[in-house]
Structure 1
């Protein structure tokens, strides 16, 4: 028999699930907005794979949220068989996120090159090294 959760524990898990739903929804929305901006081909682009991968953050976090809500409703842990199924969904979503990020990068960088964009040297201001690359439609914009 599984141990029952107290009402305090159940409400904390519900609160945690709500916060995680909000954060992962926000992450997915930021990823969507980033891809939308990338595809508008502005004069300057700060490309990051991480922003593209954010699109699936809601799906990646969904198993955690489902299990937290389940505990709130039932008062006990989810059966191991269901936890394993949710874990597989999460792993699949992580792999899909990385794969989508890689495929989009391959497509997008080739599109930038075909449109005559230049890759700027150095780290874009405000970004950690290796996290983003600046592309511009003119070499003059690289130095601004």
Structure 2
């Protein structure tokens, strides 16, 4: 097992605070806010199923952050066996996320169509083409 000097451990701690905490909390909060907005069914919304990855950040990065605490506080790496389990877990969560993203997209677009929404052609403002679709209740709002 590789040992880590105190200076490296302090750097890892601040690195974890600056990387994992914002990504985990920010991803979860932003995804939850987006989900609430979607189910409020406003008269106009830009739908992207990629918000699911914010939730997956919570499930993937939380164990990574936990195992990052091991070298910070104990000064040595996590065992190879634990790293293998973590890797398998992260891969499984990724595939579950992709499947959930596809399923949610199918479910939600059908729900939008049932509620009378119409998809506008082109990409919504501030979105990369193909990443989101703008839905409106009144077709005349598409031209605005």
TM-score for both structures, normalised by structure 2: 0.93
SS in 2 for 1:128: coil
- Any unmatched runs of 5+ in structure 1? none
TM-aligned CA deviation for residue 21 of structure 1: 2.1
Give the structure 2 partner of residue 18 of structure 1.
17
* Distance apart, 1:57 and its partner CA: 1.1
Q: Which residue of 2 aligns with 1:88?
A: 88
Task: Report how many residues are paired.
Answer: 143
Q: Tell me, what secondary structure is at the counterpart of 1:46?
A: strand
CA contact 1:47–1:135 (8 Å) conserved in 2: yes
- Residue 57 of structure 2: SS of its match in structure 1? helix
Q: Which residue of 2 aligns with 1:123?
A: 123
5+ long unaligned stretches in structure 2 = none
Classify the secondary structure of the residue corresponding to 2:70. helix
- TM-score where L is the length of structure 1: 0.93
Q: Which residue of 2 is the match for residue 45 of structure 1?
A: 45
Contact 1:35 1:52 in 2 (8 A): no
Q: Shift in Å at residue 67 of structure 1?
A: 2.1
